[in-house]
Structure 1
């Protein structure tokens, strides 16, 4: 399955259909670092209003102190730098939909996850979760996919994705050389792992809207 071109309006209508199901649905949005997952997620939230809430995989980043203890600080963002078991447990609680669930959120300005930041009410019909490794089939990540109703894979042209990623690192404080080194080093190794999972998605697409491009 090749990536196709889609507009945000197309994807909003698909998300509305998921929200209209009799039971709560969890929609996964996957893709490599810098692909536009967060931008698309925010667009869906803006369109669906109270019918959707976002719970990101990045809320399960291990703390920097723990990464340092494990010797993994220089590759933050790799699959083994997350609490995948905690993420899966949260998805299962959310699917039960019989109580309020509080989820963590990753604060890029702090480079840390903040517990209890996202409230998921039991009557919200669509929960969106986005992250790199939703389709990874190893190291505990294989337990994620069964919790998701659908997974969409965002796949822009590689050169544009890398440009967006470097720009994002610069926005959050890295100087241009450091931003490029991280994007084309640690991030690129993770990206290659993520891109190899794209065929497991329900759909793959590039987002046509220029507004999404600009937001990167």
Structure 2
């Protein structure tokens, strides 16, 4: 596939790909964008609904970029901007944890804006599924990083503070996976941590995760590239 096929336009490019092919395509395209940026820091968004595998793909992209440009790429996860669990309890919104309104969206936008301009090391928060809460200083973006791989569900939403994310991205990729595959993946993910009962996990998926998936899918046409992944589970 020619790189010219992936240029930004008013309508997204759509591809159906195996995961490894998608990875290779993204790495080559980002490398070309990087070379054209002439040292300017660029931000590539990888988004999609929960359970689509975007986090894994984003990590793999960073690894492959750093294999050819050591230290030039870094992962910037949106999950570190969850509201802290204690705050959600105080607000009475724990049951909807993971929905857009349970994130510090404005803080995330401000963080991205700062990262695009920063010339010194910047620490960022992460999220641990083992404790279901935010972890401070989970990662550091070093000054020599020139490729930010930004990953999260809500990068393309237009409501509230989330509308401020898209203008900060130099390129946006939407990862699409069939809804029933996502449901099965989410059941497995929640069960692996063993924090809650199967009944609670199923209820949370139906109440929060899948509605979030549906909401995020409505934003996909704002992406530059939509990749439907050919996966079984």
In 1, Cα distance between equivalents of 2:13 and 2:186: 23
In 1, Cα distance between equivalents of 2:229 and 2:63: 17
In 2, Cα distance between equivalents of 1:18 and 1:87: 24
In 2, Cα distance between equivalents of 1:86 and 1:201: 22
**Matched residue, 2:15:** 4
In 1, Cα distance between equivalents of 2:189 and 2:34: 31
**Matched residue, 1:30:** 47
**Matched residue, 1:121:** 142
Q: Does 1:91 align with 2:112?
A: yes
Task: Quote the RMSD (CA, aligned, Å).
Answer: 1.7
Q: Does 1:70 align with 2:87?
A: no
CA shift at 1:169, angstroms?
Answer: 1.0
Larger Rg: 2
CA shift at 1:38, angstroms?
Answer: 0.6
Q: How many residues align?
A: 211
The residue correspondences of 1:104-115 to structure 2 (distance < 5 A) are 104-115=125-136
In 2, Cα distance between equivalents of 1:160 and 1:125: 34
**Matched residue, 1:44:** 61
CA shift at 1:26, angstroms?
Answer: 0.7
In 2, Cα distance between equivalents of 1:90 and 1:2: 28
Q: State which drifts further: 108-117 or 128-137.
A: 108-117
Give the counterpart of 2:33 among 18, 37, 58.
18
Q: State which drifts further: 66-75 or 199-208.
A: 199-208
Is the Cα contact below 8 Å between 1:55 and 1:128 reproduced in 2? yes
Normalised to the residue count of structure 1, the TM-score between the two structures is 0.91
**Structure 1 unaligned residues grouped into runs of 5+:** none
In 2, Cα distance between equivalents of 1:102 and 1:18: 25
* C-alpha distance after superposition, 1:60-99 (max 9, x if no partner): 0011110111121110011111111111111011100311
In 2, Cα distance between equivalents of 1:85 and 1:134: 12
Give the counterpart of 2:209 among 187, 191, 200.
187
The residue correspondences of 1:151-170 to structure 2 (distance < 5 A) are 151-170=172-191
CA shift at 1:3, angstroms?
Answer: 4.4
Is the Cα contact below 8 Å between 1:97 and 1:123 reproduced in 2? no
Is the Cα contact below 8 Å between 1:19 and 1:51 reproduced in 2? no
For the residue of structure 2 that corresponds to 1:140, the secondary structure is: helix
In 1, Cα distance between equivalents of 2:44 and 2:210: 25
